[in-house]
Every structure is written in structure tokens, then in C-alpha cells.
Structure 1
Amino acid sequence: MPDFPNIILYAIPFFIMAMLLELYVTTKQRIKTYEAKDAFSSIAMGLGNVILGFGSKALVLLVFFWIYDTYRVFEIPIAWWSFILLFFADDFSYYWFHRISHRCRLFWASHVVHHSSEHYNLSTALRQTWSGSFYTFIFWLWLPLLGFHPAMILLQMSISLLYQFWIHTEAIDKMPKWFEAIFNTPSHHRVHHGSNPIYLDRNHAGILIIWDKLFGSFQPELEDEKVTYGLVKNIKTYNPVKIAFLEWWYLFKDAFLGKKSLKHRLLYLVRPPGWKHDGSGKVSEDLREDWLSRRLK
């Protein structure tokens, strides 16, 4: 077992210093991006994620090692070139995990936590799920099957999370054009956190924005459409327990309560947020079409 450090824990002092610096810079820029209760809620969600992460990481390692030891197709050595391959493989996995987390209510129930803040700053990056880590790792199962060592995979997943921390800010407008063309940036990720119809379910990138451009989910930040952060229907709470589990309760009610067919109950688990079995709901495509039709008039 390679002795890779837990870089997320080592990065906590950096997170704190970066948030203080951002608060100073945005105050000088007269951008009101922080709200105390909201920031403390995000930090509480992040701490809960780290604590629960000890249990979820044990589960993930157990499953990864079972696949790696029993079924791996190749034996990929731990070398500089294998980390380059893993960088692209992990980022590809993250893109599809992220995209499906917006398109399938079962995954959205945990991922919605990250989108529940109506503010956008570095503390928002810490607003992480308390439940998703126990099952979303399935999108990475093909990596130990291919032959990547589980410790390498977890390290690269942590590197990806660290990269995504700095893009949660309004203090940076645009990066150089070449950088914006290849990598995920604050501008691209502001779009992802927008509840504006044109921005819904766009820019799912982890590190490389090229996946969104390749698979048709890219949307640039528009100068005449300021991003409105949060959810289509905001939850209006700073309670970390409610933030963590409110959508799970809504999903449970939609899927298991009331008079519905078994088919419709199952569809609530796999259809996108906003879908209703009686046709009364609107998913992101419907909201985007309404927005575009109004804009063209």
C-alpha cells in the first residue's frame, strides 16, 4: 500500500487563509459575496464531509481493492506516466458522475447540497455532501478494474477536489483565453452554480472543460446574464442537517408516498429533478426553452 498523504487534511489551513484573502479582496472590490450564516453552514458541511469521509473512504478502498485484486485487466505500475493517464481517466469519470448527478434524482439528492447556497465564494466549495461519498464512487469502479492502484485513484480524486476549490470565487473574472479554452475556471463554474435557466445543468467539468465542449454541455458566462446562485427553488435554511437531508426527504415523499404506480415510483429515482409523474413538473430543458422563447420575443 503506497503511503500517499491525505492532502485534503493538509490543505485545511490553506482553505482558511484563502477564504480570508478572498473576503479582503472582494470587500475592496465592493463585491458582497460572503454572508456569515451561509459561510458557517458551508464550513459545517465541509467538516461533516471530512468526518464521514473516514468511513466512506474505508468502504471505497475495500471495494476498489476487491476489484483490483480479483478482476483487474492490467497491472499498471505506479509511475509518472501512469499518473498522467490517471489524470485524464479520473477527470473523465468525474465529468460523468457530475453530469448524471444533475440528471438523476437519486444522485441529485446528495449533490444538491453543493448547490444549495445562494452565495458564491470559496466557502461554497466546502459545502459538500454527507451521503454521496458512500455510493457515488461507482463512477470510478472501472479504474481499479483497468489496473490502477486504489491508492493512486484516491489521491487523484483528492487532487481534483483541491483544484476545484479555487474556482468558487467572484474575485477572478476571466483567466487567459488559452486557459479558459482547456481548463475549468471561476467563470465556467459560476455558470454551473447558476439557477438561471440558460445556465442549468451546464459545465460539469472537474479540471478540464474540454469534456463539456466535447459532449455538448458547455455554456459560457454571458455578459448580459448575471448569474443567480442557488437552486430553482431555494431551501432557505442554514441548518446543516436540513441542508444535508432535505432533498432525501422530498425524494422519499415523491417516490414512496401517495397513490402512484410502481413504475412512477421508480421513475422518481432516476428522472431529473423537477420531473413529476402527472406532467406538472418542469426539468431544466423545459425551463431553458421557456427562457429562450421569451428572449427571442
Structure 2
Amino acid sequence: MNFSSLYNHASSGALPWLFGLLLIVLVAATLEGLVQTFVRHKAYDWKAYAASMADAIARRGIDALGLSIAAPILAWAYAHRINTLELNTPLAIFILFIGQEFLYYWYHRASHTINWFWATHSVHHSPNELTLASALRLGWTGKLTGTTLFFTPLIWIGFSPTAVLSVVAGNLLYQFWLHAPWMPKLGPLEWVFNTPTHHKVHHASNPEYLDRNYGGVLIIFDRLFGTFADEREDVTIRYGLTEPLKSHNPLRIALHGWMNMGKKIGQAHSWRDRVKAVFGPP
């Protein structure tokens, strides 16, 4: 099996249970909108819902093309791994989980602090209200920017690409319910786990809340590295980007971050400024 086919097998990886969970996710996101509209009689942005669904469908179509700049590197790392680690003990499972959480924290933090990654990740932050449907809005260009390269160390030390990418997928599925701002605080669990309360802060565009709460399943690395922020009673959360994106056009939503970066490159007066426009902070 060559490098590309190994990676593609890992990412598609015969995980039929994921498709069942994705169906549940779609049903739950739709039910939330229906309950908000017809039971609670509250405003719900169905255009934003449709844009998020269109983004998810287009992403699956683009992923089906098998394009990824990370594929050969991850497969090379596994072919030259320093060990082979099977998930046959609680310790191995724990190491994989904690390692993935640690690396996810740094991937997510980089996605907010490096333009190259923010161009894709900004799509997820573009909804101007937080709903379960907005969890599905992840952009089309993640595999083209090499985001999975952050998890290369786990593959190099011996975990299979299938195992690593499965845990990453599980992390993202866990985060679906975090996009329900109507959930209450969860008491002592808030100290260890990422919760809807913490994720509300992450999606806020208020200056007091920017670049906080990067965790996936856990919130402990935010507490360790100084990026944790709790919701404040004196600051009402404002969702969306610092410069709100009003469009519901899926193409505009998917590409606005890249267009903004292209504009910065065009306005740059030196190669140093051009490099900064790509790899500097948003």
C-alpha cells in the first residue's frame, strides 16, 4: 500500500459507526431549529442553517477527491515509526487520547493565530448566532492546508493513522453538542471538560473573549497554558467574526478568509510583509 492509499484508507478507514453518528447530528441540528421556531417561538436563522448544511455537503464532495498535502507526510511517518503501539491496554488508549488532546489544542490555537490556517477555520466562526447547525460549518480547505500534520508525532511514535484519525474524528463529534448555548453549566465537570459554556466564550467576538478556550474534549490545556476564560456576567456574548460576515452564500463563506489573505498579500510592499500576510496572525 503506497503512502497516499494508506492515508486515504485511514481517513475513510472503515468507520461505519461515524456515518450513523453523523446522521444523528444532522437530525439533532434540524430538531433544534424546529423547536426554537415552533415550540419556543424564537427567531432562528434558517438561512444560516442552510448555509451550514451546504458547507458540510460541499466539504464531503471535496474530501472525496482525496486531495491532501498531509497524506504523504503522515504515511511516511507511519512507515518510519519508531515503534508499533497497539490499542490493547488502557495505558495505550490513555496516551493516544491525551496526546491527541494536547496536539489538538496546539492545532486549534494555531488556527486562530496563523493566517494560513485561519483562512479555513474562520468559516467555522462566521455564523452570527451559535447553533448546533453551526458546528457543521468547517470550511472546504482543511486538507489542503495540512491541518492534520499537527498529529504526525502520534503516528511517528507508533499509533496507526486509522487510530489517530479516528480519535480526532471522535474529538470533533464530541464538540457538536458544545454548540448548544442553551445548555446550563455543568458544575465540577467545567474544571476538566470542554463544555457548552466554555465553547460559547470560544465563539465570542468580544475583545474580552478573543482567542480563548481552544480545548477539544478537555479544557485542562487552556488552564495550563493561560488561554482559559470563563463567561462573565458583565459581558454579553456577541457571536461571529470581529468583522461580521452577513452573507449566506456558501461560496462566499468558504472563501472569504482566503480573499482577505489575498488582499493583504496584494497590499504588501515587501516579501517579508507577504510572508507575514500568510503566516502571521489574522
Is the pair's TM-score, using the shorter chain for normalization, greater than 0.5? yes
Q: How many angstroms apart in 2 are the aligned matches of 1:187 and 1:29?
A: 21
CA RMSD of aligned residues (A): 2.0
Are 1:164 and 1:206, in contact at CA under 8 Å, matched by a contact in 2?
yes
Q: Which piece of structure 1 moves more, 209-218 or 73-82?
A: 73-82
Aligned CA distance change for structure 1 residues 24 and 170 (closer, same or farther; 3 Å): farther
Per-residue CA distance 1:109-144 (angstroms, 9 max, x = gap): 111000001010100000012001231111111111
Q: Which piece of structure 1 moves more, 6-15 or 117-126?
A: 6-15
Report deviation, 1:222.
Answer: 1.1
Residue 264 of structure 1: aligned partner: 273
Q: How many angstroms apart in 1 are the aligned matches of 2:191 and 2:67?
A: 33
Are 2:125 and 2:203, in contact at CA under 8 Å, matched by a contact in 1?
yes
Report deviation, 1:13.
Answer: 1.9
Aligned CA distance change for structure 1 residues 58 and 9 (closer, same or farther; 3 Å): farther
Residue 159 of structure 1: aligned partner: 170
Is residue 84 of structure 1 aligned with residue 75 of structure 2? no
Residue 218 of structure 1: aligned partner: 228
What stretches of structure 2 of length at least 5 have no aligned partner? 1-8
Residue 141 of structure 1: aligned partner: 152
Q: Which piece of structure 1 moves more, 88-97 or 13-22?
A: 13-22
Q: How many angstroms apart in 2 are the aligned matches of 1:205 and 1:139?
A: 14
Residue 49 of structure 1: aligned partner: 59
User: After superposition, where does 1:11-90 map in structure 2 within 5 Å?
Assistant: 11-26=21-36, 28=39, 32=43, 34-56=44-66, 60-70=70-80, 72-81=81-90, 82-90=92-100
Q: SS of the residue aligned with 1:163?
A: helix
Report deviation, 1:9.
Answer: 2.3
Is residue 94 of structure 1 aligned with residue 104 of structure 2? yes
What stretches of structure 1 of length at least 5 have no aligned partner? 274-297
Report deviation, 1:174.
Answer: 1.0
Aligned CA distance change for structure 1 residues 138 and 126 (closer, same or farther; 3 Å): same
Report deviation, 1:47.
Answer: 1.6
Are 1:61 and 1:150, in contact at CA under 8 Å, matched by a contact in 2?
no
Residue 234 of structure 1: aligned partner: 244
Is residue 193 of structure 1 aligned with residue 223 of structure 2? no
Q: How many angstroms apart in 2 are the aligned matches of 1:200 and 1:220?
A: 12
Are 1:129 and 1:244, in contact at CA under 8 Å, matched by a contact in 2?
yes
Aligned CA distance change for structure 1 residues 59 and 4 (closer, same or farther; 3 Å): farther
Per-residue CA distance 1:35-89 (angstroms, 9 max, x = gap): 010011011111222222334587655432221112x112111324322211111
Q: How many angstroms apart in 2 are the aligned matches of 1:254 and 1:58?
A: 25
Residue 168 of structure 1: aligned partner: 179
Q: How many angstroms apart in 2 are the aligned matches of 1:192 and 1:92?
A: 17
Residue 118 of structure 1: aligned partner: 128
Residue 243 of structure 1: aligned partner: 253
Q: How many residues align?
A: 269
Report deviation, 1:24.
Answer: 4.9
Aligned CA distance change for structure 1 residues 166 and 259 (closer, same or farther; 3 Å): closer
Are 1:78 and 1:149, in contact at CA under 8 Å, matched by a contact in 2?
no
Aligned CA distance change for structure 1 residues 248 and 20 (closer, same or farther; 3 Å): closer
Letter in 2 for 1:104: I
Q: How many angstroms apart in 2 are the aligned matches of 1:15 and 1:195?
A: 26
Are 2:29 and 2:133, in contact at CA under 8 Å, matched by a contact in 1?
yes
Aligned CA distance change for structure 1 residues 8 and 54 (closer, same or farther; 3 Å): farther
Per-residue CA distance 1:158-178 (angstroms, 9 max, x = gap): 101110001001220211x22
Per-residue CA distance 1:183-231 (angstroms, 9 max, x = gap): 1110000000001110110001111000100000000011221211000
Per-residue CA distance 1:222-272 (angstroms, 9 max, x = gap): 1221211000001211111111111111211211x2450111111111221
